């Protein structure tokens, strides 16, 4: 297990602890001693490595490697693991740059190893059913698609204003980190490649100019602003015992939380935290088929959800993934609307967390190509990086030219 933090310990590690006959971790790599020790306590016998270099120098220890370290460390760990002969399940985004993402695919092909991306949405009952309906032809030819990634406002503040993806130069762009999932789902559902795209977006709200009167530099400095939806003192809620609290502290006592908020970035006022990433972005895409697609990402939602509309020549599909997930299909000829049954989901990300692990293990044992292989998943990253370039440059991107240039570099 490379990276023993949020995903490494609480998702992949938890699955192994609950399913020891399916998955057993024999080693853990993390520079944080306390997190390594916590992981070893839950996975007795796992060998500790404080760095990727030390782990790789030990030689191959197992059949598979799970990589859930910070984005900018994915490339080195995954490349080294593949070359040692590991089959790899890699957290998204694949790497910090498109060039590194493409090189990872080439490395997997050269070594003959399996490289799967944790695009968990494909393994959820909701998106499996959505894909099934769209590919059945029930909607006719797809004409337009509207897909929205609605990020809960406190999630936005936690991850992209105060947290690990708040500074563009230190992390992957938000459209890459958050929406490589969404581009992947669109690629999976639609038969036609993207021909061209453009994008707009900016940091709209989380700036000093929007700070309420009297706001202090830290919420823990006795900030007098009432009913602020981003008040970091919400982290003190004892009912919050998992994400997002465990991202910044392993001491869940009130004092432990308060110390982390006073000393770390998560206690800062969102209006003076210094974030420079977008809090909203829109990508418009023209498919080679002639259909048009709009992807909207924003961090001002009342809850985390994804909503979508697919208009075809025969029917219209509306969907919502999140709380009270639903898929409805309205027939153009009859006007009748059907609610499509969706299987029950258990576990994180609507059932996708357990699904991606189980599928990866089954695929490796059977020698099959994973549903979310890196070779297929890299297109989602290409589109996300292209969207960010389009936003920054203000120009429309010819995706074929962009792809060709990326593959040649």
Categorize the per-residue pLDDT at 346 as very low, low, confident or very high, splitting at 50, 70 and 90: confident
Average confidence score pLDDT of the chain: 96
Residue 347 has pLDDT above 90, yes or no: no
Contact (CB, 8 A) for 397 and 191 = no
State the pLDDT at residue 125.
Answer: 97
58-72 pLDDT, tens digit each: 999 999 999 999 999
Contact (CB, 8 A) for 139 and 149 = no
DSSP string, 272-332: SS---S-SEEEEEEEETTS-EEEEEEEEEESS-EEEEEEEESSEEEEEEESTT-EEEEEET
CATH architecture of the domain with range 122-206+276-408: 2-Layer Sandwich (3.30)
State the pLDDT at residue 48.
Answer: 97
Categorize the per-residue pLDDT at 345 as very low, low, confident or very high, splitting at 50, 70 and 90: confident
Bridge partner residues of 285 (DSSP): 197, 293
Give the DSSP H/E element, type plus range, for residue 88. strand 87-90
d(CA 219, CA 266): 9
DSSP tag of 381: H
Going by C-alpha positions, the residue among 197, 188, 391 that lies closest to residue 292 is 197
Categorize the per-residue pLDDT at 250 as very low, low, confident or very high, splitting at 50, 70 and 90: confident
Residue 406, phi then psi, degrees to nearest 5: -65, -40
State the pTM of this model. 0.96
5-43 pLDDT, tens digit each: 999 999 999 999 999 999 999 999 999 999 999 999 999
Contact (CB, 8 A) for 79 and 104 = yes
Residue 346, phi then psi, degrees to nearest 5: -130, 145
d(CA 87, CA 82): 6
* 3-class SS of residue 95: coil
Going by C-alpha positions, the residue among 7, 12, 53 that lies closest to residue 29 is 53
Average pLDDT estimate for 49-65:
97
Half-sphere exposure of 69 (CA within 13 A, CB side): 23
158-180 pLDDT, tens digit each: 999 999 999 988 889 999 999 99
What percent of the chain stands above pLDDT 70?
A: 100
Average pLDDT estimate for 318-328:
96
Contact (CB, 8 A) for 264 and 244 = no
d(CA 299, CA 157): 8
d(CA 266, CA 258): 10
Q: Where do the CATH 3.30.360.10 domains begin and end in the chain?
A: 122-206+276-408
Contact (CB, 8 A) for 178 and 149 = yes
113-118-121 Cα angle (round to 5): 140
207-243 pLDDT, tens digit each: 999 999 999 999 999 999 999 999 999 999 999 999 9
Looking at 3.40.30.10, 3.40.50.720, 3.40.50.880, 3.40.630.30, the CATH number of the domain 6-121 comes to 3.40.50.720
State the pLDDT at residue 121.
Answer: 97
Residue 262 has pLDDT above 90, yes or no: yes
State the pLDDT at residue 154.
Answer: 97
Residue 409 has pLDDT above 90, yes or no: no
Other residues' Cβ atoms within 10 Å of the Cβ of residue 341: 8
Average pLDDT estimate for 83-103:
97
Residue 303 has pLDDT above 90, yes or no: yes
Contact (CB, 8 A) for 133 and 314 = no
d(CA 370, CA 117): 9
Contact (CB, 8 A) for 259 and 240 = no
d(CA 283, CA 266): 30
Residue 330, phi then psi, degrees to nearest 5: -105, 120
Provide the residue count of the chain.
409
Q: Where do the CATH 3.40.50.720 domains begin and end in the chain?
A: 6-121
What percent of the chain stands above pLDDT 90?
A: 96
State the pLDDT at residue 99.
Answer: 97
State the pLDDT at residue 64.
Answer: 98
* 3-class SS of residue 397: strand
Average pLDDT estimate for 371-376:
96
Half-sphere exposure of 228 (CA within 13 A, CB side): 23
């Amino acid at each position: 297990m490379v990276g023993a933090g949020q995903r490494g310990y609480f998702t992949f590690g938890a699955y192994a602890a609950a399913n020891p006959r399916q998955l057993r971790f024999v080693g853990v790599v993390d520079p944080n001693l306390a997190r390594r020790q916590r992981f070893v306590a839950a996975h007795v016998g796992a060998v500790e490595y404080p760095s990727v270099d030390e782990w790789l120098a030990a030689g191959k220890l197992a059949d598979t490697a799970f990589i859930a370290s910070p984005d900018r460390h994915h490339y080195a760990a995954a490349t080294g693991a593949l070359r040692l002969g590991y089959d790899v399940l890699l957290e998204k985004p694949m790497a910090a740059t498109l060039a590194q993402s493409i090189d990872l695919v080439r490395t997997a092909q050269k070594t003959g190893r399996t490289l799967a991306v944790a695009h968990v949405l494909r393994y959820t009952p909701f998106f499996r059913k959505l894909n099934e309906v769209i590919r059945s032809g029930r909607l006719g030819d797809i004409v337009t698609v509207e897909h929205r990634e609605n990020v809960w406002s406190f999630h936005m503040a936690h991850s992209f204003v105060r947290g690990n993806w708040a500074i563009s130069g230190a992390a992957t762009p938000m459209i890459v980190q958050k929406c490589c999932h969404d581009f992947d789902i669109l690629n999976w559902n639609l038969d036609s490649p993207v021909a061209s795209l453009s994008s707009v977006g900016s940091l709209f709200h989380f700036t000093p100019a929007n700070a309420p009167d009297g706001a202090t530099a830290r919420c823990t400095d006795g900030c007098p602003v009432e009913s602020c939806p981003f008040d970091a003192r919400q982290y003190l809620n004892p009912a919050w015992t998992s994400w997002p609290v465990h991202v910044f502290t392993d001491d869940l006592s009130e004092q432990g939380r308060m110390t982390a908020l006073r000393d770390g970035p998560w206690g800062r006022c969102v209006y003076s935290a210094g974030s420079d990433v977008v809090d909203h972005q829109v990508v418009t895409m023209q498919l080679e088929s002639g259909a048009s697609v709009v992807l909207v990402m924003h961090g001002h939602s009342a809850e985390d959800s994804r909503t979508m509309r697919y208009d075809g020549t025969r029917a219209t599909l509306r969907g919502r993934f999140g709380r009270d997930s639903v898929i409805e299909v309205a027939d153009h000829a009859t006007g009748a609307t059907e609610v499509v049954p969706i299987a029950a989901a258990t576990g994180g990300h609507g059932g996708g967390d357990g699904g991606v692990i189980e599928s990866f293990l089954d695929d490796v044992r059977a020698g099959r190509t994973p549903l979310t292989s890196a070779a297929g998943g890299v297109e989602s990253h290409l589109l996300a990086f292209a969207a960010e370039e389009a936003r920054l440059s203000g120009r429309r991107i010819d995706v074929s030219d962009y792809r060709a240039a990326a593959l040649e570099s």
